Structure 1
Amino acid sequence: MRLITRLCVAALLGPPLAACTGPTVITTDDTVTAPPASPSAPETTRPSNVHLANAFTYAIPGAADGTTVYAFTTPSGRWQCQITPRTQASCGKAGTTATAIGITGAPDEVPAADGETATPTALLVDRTGAPQFAALPASTIDDPPVLPFNRILAVAGFRCNVQEASGVSCLSELSGKGFTFSADGFTTAYTDVPADAP
């Protein structure tokens, strides 16, 4: 080891040489395990645009404080949904009276705007929050047009559809959160219209 030290000192005093520089190599019998790979992000599928409806058909100018909203009734005439641009998509029983939502599994009470509790009249999803049951006032929209089965109303950051097999489904395109429901039950997930649907 002394010899190497003297050679390095000599190299420093003499003309520049690169003999004493370089990486240190250590050889051992130790094994090194690589850290586990981070889990990959879950695969998501973008909602389909194959079956889009013409949003202008469902536009109701000035319905909500002068704002245009988009509303439809389901083919059965039982449900009515409304998209308030960049705010929320909500669905409840059709008609202009606020009645209990009538979905199996829905809560009996939800917080009301006045801080009390009330019977839920709608299922909604806003831009960033989770789907929830809410006590909304009666709709001022009387008899909006029917959204046919397997057609998607996509407008202002929300999309909704109606399917015979699954019911009504709405989604916030910003958060990816949504709901699907029928009178028989609900889930907090959006159900897209299959690309091969009629």
Structure 2
Amino acid sequence: MLVLFSAACTGPTVINTEEPTSQAPAPAAAQTSTTRPSNAHLANAFAYATPVDGATGYAFTTPSGRWQCVIVPRTQASCGKAGGSASALGITDAPEEVPGPDGETATPTAILVGRSGDPQFAALPAYSVTDPPELPFNRILAAAGFRCNVQEATGISCLSELSGKGFTFSADGWTTAYTDVPADAP
């Protein structure tokens, strides 16, 4: 009996036992997306390194100055109102309440994506990041397992490079999908 394994970039794996079969072959599994986030517009991550709760993290503010985002290495990327505000985010369609750190319901102060798991709104304590630098439009801050960007048309977007899950938001709304900077962006 001859067994042949063949792998190619497209099409199903072929196994030929040279024995007749009465069953039709199973359909090929659906192809998963292999689109990887772009590295065409990377910012220098060292310019955004800053102390975050006693460790080195990465932080930035948006060009409008309204939002601040923090990457806690290999833990999470989160964004909230600049200045450490504990007030509501002001994002259309955001939940009005989320579980707080003490287990009681609280007003969400950030949107975040962890290393694994789905993006979520959370009531986070204000980070002690003072005056983080601005991340310009169409630049990507990739550091410690996460990447974030700011685009004029879509807003702020962050992604866990481990899970591939992320979020995009602006004052007009949010989605649980990462929006990459187009390769031809200025």
TM-score band, normalised by the shorter chain? 0.7 to 0.9
Q: CA deviation at 1:140?
A: 1.3
Is the 1:97–1:139 contact (alpha carbons within 8 Å) kept by the matching residues of 2?
no
Question: What is the TM-score normalised by the length of structure 2?
Answer: 0.86
Q: CA deviation at 1:40?
A: 2.4
Aligned equivalents of 2:83, 2:103: Cα separation in 1: 26
Q: Deviations over 1:138-178 (max 9, x none)?
A: 22112210000000000000000000010000000000000
Do structure 1's residue 113 and structure 2's residue 101 form an aligned pair? yes
The structure where helix makes up a greater share of residues is 1
AA in 1 matched with 2:102 = D
Aligned partner (choices 88, 100, 110) of residue 76 of structure 2: 88
Do structure 1's residue 51 and structure 2's residue 13 form an aligned pair? no
Do structure 1's residue 164 and structure 2's residue 164 form an aligned pair? no
AA in 2 matched with 1:178 = G
Q: Deviations over 1:24-81 (max 9, x none)?
A: x99xxxx9341331322322310001100000110103x21x2101000000111000
Other-structure match for 2:174: 186
Question: What is the TM-score normalised by the length of structure 1?
Answer: 0.81
Do structure 1's residue 124 and structure 2's residue 99 form an aligned pair? no
Is the 1:172–1:178 contact (alpha carbons within 8 Å) kept by the matching residues of 2?
yes
Q: CA deviation at 1:114?
A: 1.0
**Max Rg structure:** 1
Q: Gapped runs of 5+ residues in structure 1?
A: 1-24
AA in 2 matched with 1:50 = A
Aligned partner (choices 51, 58, 61) of residue 70 of structure 1: 58
Aligned equivalents of 2:173, 2:114: Cα separation in 1: 20
AA in 2 matched with 1:115 = G
Aligned equivalents of 2:76, 2:60: Cα separation in 1: 14
